[in-house]
Amino acid sequence: MKTGCVFNPFCLSSFLTFRYVVNPSAEWVPGVRPPCPTVEPERRAEIHDSGQLLDALCGLVDPLARDHRVGILLSGGIDSAILAALLPRGTPAYTVRFEAEGAVDESRAAAVYARRCRLLHHIVTVSWEDYQQHMDGLMRRKCAPLHPVETGLYLAARAAANDGVNFLMVGNGADSTFGGLDRLLSKDWTLQEFIKRYTFVDPSTVLRDPVSMHASFAGYERAGGFDTVAFLKEVHGRGIIQAFDNAIHAAGCNSIAPYESLALGAPLDLERVRRGEPKYLLREVFTQLYPGLSVADKVAFARPMDGWMNAWTGPHREEFKPDLDLRRFSGEQKWLLYCLERFLDLMEDT
């Protein structure tokens, strides 16, 4: 067990709750502060219907593809598929395929989109050994433990950079703007209900010195409920941007997220989302661009953490409660605990 450094307990609790440190001024130890990206661009185009959405995306993608060596991170979902259809033929596309028994393979659906759009499709295979090899460097760069997508993203971006790509296009912002996080939008939550539903790992269950994250949620409490849409765009969205930026920039690429430059011009139709049409405007655009293809249901960037973390015996540092029952935690939750402990060890060794 490593001891010596006294780490800011707020940062530990925030990472377990949100998968990143929500307070931009918080430091793990003096001088170790993760970057805090800006969520709101200077100006967002307001979208009212699928026609405006497609026009706005074309206006964002076309000049970038003309002026830069652009590639795309192509998953099996509709967000990146829509962007792929707007790129010139021959644009390189990169799909991560995780190497693990039972892992979700998005490369098959992505290959269909790439063939339709005549893109140069590259599949980047990522293993647990890759995570072991690259996560420390990514954590040092970030000054924080990692979101579980980051190592896979880094390897895809590195493959793109090796091919001469300097701007990698991603689908960030589509879910949080257009109603893609349908499980979190499935009902009108009270503040306490949403805290319990959203929290990735409850710090009070695993840390000796937990810090309440109530204040980070409470700013979105409204009369009679909780503003889930605003929370997802601002708090949830900031963590996703931070993870993608760290991974892609570490590989020597810049990231492009066209959806982050868009906003709905009217309130999200929650009833439509709850009736089974998440991202209803994007679905309409996808159907127009890919006639005859059905909208795929998928888990975005599904990491095989259940398998990878199955043999892990739990954290041993003094910041954690002893003898945690790991049967209570999913693979994704175990990853957060594992990555947090490894980051704390890394900071002591630096």
Q: Distance between CA 87 and CA 106 in Å, rounded?
A: 20
Contact assessment for residue 80 and residue 57, using Cβ atoms and an 8 Å cutoff:
no
Q: Are strands 262-264 and 45-47 parallel, antiparallel or unpaired?
A: parallel
Total length of the chain: 350
Q: Which CATH number fits domain 9-349: 3.40.190.10, 3.40.50.620, 3.30.930.10, 3.30.1330.40?
A: 3.40.50.620
pLDDT, tens only, 254-265: 999 999 999 999
Contact assessment for residue 279 and residue 177, using Cβ atoms and an 8 Å cutoff:
no
Residue in 204, 154, 213 with CA at minimum distance from that of residue 26:
213
Helix (H, G, I), strand (E, B) or coil at 272: helix
Residue 45 backbone dihedrals phi, psi, to 5 degrees:
-75, 130
- The confidence score (pLDDT) of residue 2 equals 46
Q: Among 65-74, 105-114, 202-211, which range has the highest average pLDDT?
A: 202-211
- The confidence score (pLDDT) of residue 68 equals 79
Q: Distance between CA 156 and CA 163 in Å, rounded?
A: 11
315 has a pLDDT exceeding 60: yes
Round the average pLDDT of the chain to a whole number and report it.
Answer: 93
Helix (H, G, I), strand (E, B) or coil at 173: coil
- Domain residue limits, the chain: 9-349
Residue in 156, 185, 181 with CA at minimum distance from that of residue 75:
156
pLDDT cut 90: percent of the chain above it = 86
pLDDT, tens only, 78-112: 999 999 999 999 999 999 999 888 788 889 999 99
Contact assessment for residue 333 and residue 201, using Cβ atoms and an 8 Å cutoff:
yes
What are the structure tokens assigned to 10, written together?
A: 């707020």
Least confident of 128-132, 220-224, 283-287: 220-224
Question: Which uninterrupted H or E stretch holds 96?
Answer: strand 92-98
